[in-house]
Amino acid sequence: MAKEPVRVLVTGAAGQIGYALVPMIARGVMLGPDQPVILHMLDIPPAAEALNGVKMELVDAAFPLLKGVVATTDVVEACTGVSIAVMVGGFPRKEGMERKDVMSKNVAIYKSQASALGSYAAANCKVLVVANPANTNALILKEFAPSISEKNITCLTRLDHNRALGQVSERLNVPVSDVKNVIIWGNHSSTQYPDVNHATVKTPAGEKPVRELVANDEWLHGEFITTVQQRGAAIIKARKLSSALSAASSACDHIRDWVLGTPEGCIERKHSLLIFSSVGTLQGTWVSMGVYSDGSYNVPAGLIYSFPVTCCNGVWTIVQGLPIDDLSRKKLDLTAEELTEEKALAYSCLS
């Protein structure tokens, strides 16, 4: 029997990530090839005409899974009945603007959109914040949508995770699908910590640690980290526009793994003690997601912080028990400090 359509909200849908993202959702890349969808697209009045153009193109593409399109500048109409909300809309930093001014604009946007989602979205709606500052926008959304469980509010660091996989794959000249378990810790900003200490590569002789195969700590501690941290700026320099197709694709990866599960995500939960008892024999696959910190790995509770997670039955769980060396500890703390400052700045914009 055909499945009931799922309503998926994309805010900022007339923008460049939106333009790459909505056809992916309509093709089943996000929720699977047998899951019909109804797209809800929100943008602001100056972008209403462009938004209508995107709607016309979606109709023209005749996607079999797409059962309806709502294109609107009304936040209540946009949020009504949605089970997935991908928050791409936000206020960009313009030349000459202070950090606090941009924060203040985004705090106002995320506060009002939180209320609309809290009141009108479907029960158990899953929220992914993409717009920057992504972690802090997600935190504001959590604060002002108390009816949405904190387990259902996340931000995107999967793009950084995928960038780290891509760098290892290029360095070792192996398929990216054979590399797994990199971690992005912390903020979606240049203080994030891309960590390969637990990452492995599939080889004919079994899974081998990335660190052993690369055999070059200088590269792993230096260029690898800075390349991932500064990849967004490198794309802007090359394209004169910020990342869009990779951001859209990783947003689909984030929601797909959250809803449909990470590989072996359910088995791992049942046998987590067994699997994590001996480092080097980790069996499962984890991904990086910005989630509400419960204090795991001594990260301050109450921040939206990127952790390694596995997902089963629509629920993410932070991977526990990974050993953290001294260098990593410093980097985990540095990015937490930045998030704590961002949180204080965001709260100062509320008063």
Ligand X SMILES: NC(=O)c1ccc[n+]([C@@H]2O[C@H](COP(=O)([O-])OP(=O)(O)OC[C@H]3O[C@@H](n4cnc5c(N)ncnc54)[C@H](O)[C@@H]3O)[C@@H](O)[C@H]2O)c1
Positions marked active-site? 188
Beta bridge partners of 113: none
Query: Beta-strand (E) ranges in the chain?
Result: 6-11, 37-42, 66-72, 84-87, 126-129, 153-155, 179-180, 183-185, 193-195, 200-203, 206-209, 287-292, 304-312, 315-318
Q: Which of 42, 70, 299, 319 binds ligand X (CB under 6 A)?
A: 42
Is 280 one of the annotated binding-site residues? no
6 lines the binding site for ligand X (CB under 6 A): no
Is 255 one of the annotated binding-site residues? no
Question: Are residues 12 and 50 in contact, defined by beta-carbon separation less than 8 angstroms?
Answer: no
Pairing of strands 183-185, 206-209: unpaired
Structure tokens of 207? 């899974």
Closest CA to 21 of 160, 190, 156, 187: 156
Backbone angles phi, psi at 180, to 5 degrees: -150, 165
311 lines the binding site for ligand X (CB under 6 A): no
Is 13 one of the annotated binding-site residues? yes
Structure tokens of 86? 């991908």
**Stretch touching ligand X by CB under 6 A, among 15-23, 95-103, 139-147, 221-229:** 15-23
Pairing of strands 206-209, 179-180: unpaired
State the nearest-atom distance from the C-beta of 343 to ligand X, in Å. Answer: 17
State the nearest-atom distance from the C-beta of 157 to ligand X, in Å. Answer: 7
Degrees (nearest 5) of the Cα angle 181, 85, 136? 65
Site string (70-89) toward ligand X, x via CB under 6 A = ------------------xx
State the nearest-atom distance from the C-beta of 64 to ligand X, in Å. Answer: 26
253 lines the binding site for ligand X (CB under 6 A): no
114 lines the binding site for ligand X (CB under 6 A): no
Q: Running DSSP on this structure, what letter comes out for residue 33?
A: T
State the nearest-atom distance from the C-beta of 158 to ligand X, in Å. Answer: 7
**Stretch touching ligand X by CB under 6 A, among 192-200, 202-210, 217-225, 240-248:** 240-248
Measure CA 324 to chain center: 23
Is 78 one of the annotated binding-site residues? no
Backbone angles phi, psi at 198, to 5 degrees: -120, 5
Is 106 one of the annotated binding-site residues? yes
Question: Are residues 166 and 250 in contact, defined by beta-carbon separation less than 8 angstroms?
Answer: no
Site string (181-210) toward ligand X, x via CB under 6 A = -------x----------------------
Q: Cα–Cα distance between 272 and 226 in angstroms, integer?
A: 32
10 lines the binding site for ligand X (CB under 6 A): no
**How crowded is residue 222: how many other Cβ atoms within 10 Å of its Cβ?**
11
Nearer to ligand X by C-beta: 232 or 261?
232
Binding to ligand X, residues 145-184 (CB under 6 A): 156, 159
Backbone angles phi, psi at 324, to 5 degrees: -115, 115
Q: Which of 109, 117, 121, 282 binds ligand X (CB under 6 A)?
A: 109
43 lines the binding site for ligand X (CB under 6 A): yes
Nearer to ligand X by C-beta: 48 or 267?
48
CA atoms within 13 A on the CB side of 64: 7
Question: Are residues 160 and 194 in contact, defined by beta-carbon separation less than 8 angstroms?
Answer: yes
**Stretch touching ligand X by CB under 6 A, among 1-9, 14-22, 62-70, 202-210:** 14-22
Question: Are residues 164 and 196 in contact, defined by beta-carbon separation less than 8 angstroms?
Answer: yes
State the nearest-atom distance from the C-beta of 323 to ligand X, in Å. Answer: 28
**What SS3 class is residue 284?**
coil
Nearer to ligand X by C-beta: 47 or 127?
47
First to last CA, the chain: 52
Is 301 one of the annotated binding-site residues? no
Q: Which of 24, 44, 65, 334 binds ligand X (CB under 6 A)?
A: 44
16 lines the binding site for ligand X (CB under 6 A): yes
How many residues make contact with ligand X (CB under 6 A)?
28
Binding residues for NAD(+), by number, are 12-18, 43, 106, 130-132
Binding site for ligand X (CB under 6 A): 11-12, 14-18, 42-44, 47, 88-92, 109, 130-132, 134, 156, 159, 188, 242-244, 247
